[in-house]
Amino acid sequence: MEYSHKELRQEMVDVCLESLHEGMFTGTSGNLSVALEDGTMLITPTSVRYTVMRPMDIVRCDLDGNIIEGDLQPSSEWRMHAAVYRAYPEHKAIFHTHSPYATAFAAVPCLKDGRGGCLLNNHGVLAVGRDLNEARTRAQYIEDSARIYHYALQVGEPFVLEKL
């Protein structure tokens, strides 16, 4: 289903608020973007609390950071989003979170081999997808897996299943 930029902006704000309430975002940490067909992206603005963010605050910029629409600055991590879209054009949405459990286990990133997300070294989660819902769901799964592993560590050495 094709969305207008207005609908996408509203969806992005809604996802940010839901993510804040789920504990995936805190304050102004975390950001998300959606790649557009014309080679630009919609991205959350920098330093705006999710409780006051409006659809008109979402910034449209090119992959060099030039603002095309919007009065605010794009996320300070726009370069990371642009680099992923350049390297992996099949992904159309990025969800970046500093969710607590996954960040505690963060390791070197890797999006190769069809992986839908990675842990950024000391910096949280970067999840990608065909759309915003898929990218967010992958970030939620990463956080949930990290939380489960954390709990497993509390009761002893977790048994790691071998790949079949």
Q: 84-129: per-residue pLDDT in tens?
A: 999 999 999 999 998 888 887 775 755 666 677 777 776 788 899 9
What are the phi and psi torsion angles at 45 (to 5°)? Answer: -75, 160
Span 135-157, average pLDDT: 88
Which tokens hold the place of 128? 């990608």
* DSSP annotation of 101: H
Q: Is 77 a catalytic residue?
A: yes
Query: Rounded CA gap, 30 and 143, in Å?
Result: 13
Of the two residues 92 and 150, the one the predictor is more confident about is 92
Catalytic-role residue among 77, 90, 134, 162: 77
